């Protein structure tokens, strides 16, 4: 009976440690990206009104996040202007100051140009997303 009691106590202690995240065992959630998992990228409109980086490369199935840290709204869409039909999945629309928004999943291998719809000729607000 002593061994059975000790075994039950050990199992209970292990269960408690696992529930609390202790015990040094893996909780089952990966800490590193799974090989072959889609990558992601962030394109930020800085306080200076420029996108950075202006070009990113992501894996198939990824999403790109646009962040507006500028003091004015920007309407970010795919080329060509004004149709925005080349890569409609990157048409995130108007981002108010401080707002961010993700593209849809990027499932077609290609390079997509983007720009601010309201300032289509402003090269500081233009760039590309390459999907591989």
Instruction: Return the pLDDT at 32.
Output: 36
Q: Is pLDDT at 130 greater than 90 in this prediction?
A: yes
Over range 60-89, report the average pLDDT: 98
The band of 33, judged by pLDDT with boundaries at 50, 70 and 90, is: very low
Instruction: Return the pLDDT at 2.
Output: 53
The band of 11, judged by pLDDT with boundaries at 50, 70 and 90, is: very low
Q: CA angle, 42 as apex, 131 and 75 as ends, to 5°? A: 90
Q: Is pLDDT at 66 greater than 90 in this prediction?
A: yes
CA distances from 46 to 49, 54, 83, 121, 128 (A): 5, 11, 26, 18, 17
Partner residues linked to 56 by β-bridges: 129
Residues 6+ apart with CB under 8 A from 96: 68, 73
d(CA 120, CA 75): 10
CATH class of 41-131: mainly beta
Token readout for 109 is 């291998």
Q: Is pLDDT at 107 greater than 80 in this prediction?
A: yes
Structural domain boundaries of the chain? 41-131
d(CA 73, CA 54): 18
Residue of 44 and 40 predicted with greater confidence: 44
Over range 73-99, report the average pLDDT: 98
């Amino acid at each position: 009976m002593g061994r059975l009691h000790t075994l039950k106590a050990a199992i209970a202690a292990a269960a408690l440690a696992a529930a609390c995240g202790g015990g040094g065992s893996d909780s089952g959630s990966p800490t590193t990206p799974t090989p072959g998992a889609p990558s992601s990228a962030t394109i930020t409109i800085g306080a200076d009104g420029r996108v950075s980086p202006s070009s990113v490369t992501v894996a198939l199935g990824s999403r790109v996040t646009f962040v507006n840290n500028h003091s004015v709204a920007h309407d970010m869409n795919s080329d060509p202007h004004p149709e925005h039909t080349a890569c409609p999945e990157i048409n995130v629309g108007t981002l108010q100051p401080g707002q961010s928004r993700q593209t849809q999943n990027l499932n077609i291998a290609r390079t997509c140009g983007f720009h601010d719809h309201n300032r289509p000729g402003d090269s500081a607000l233009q760039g590309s997303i390459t999907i591989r």
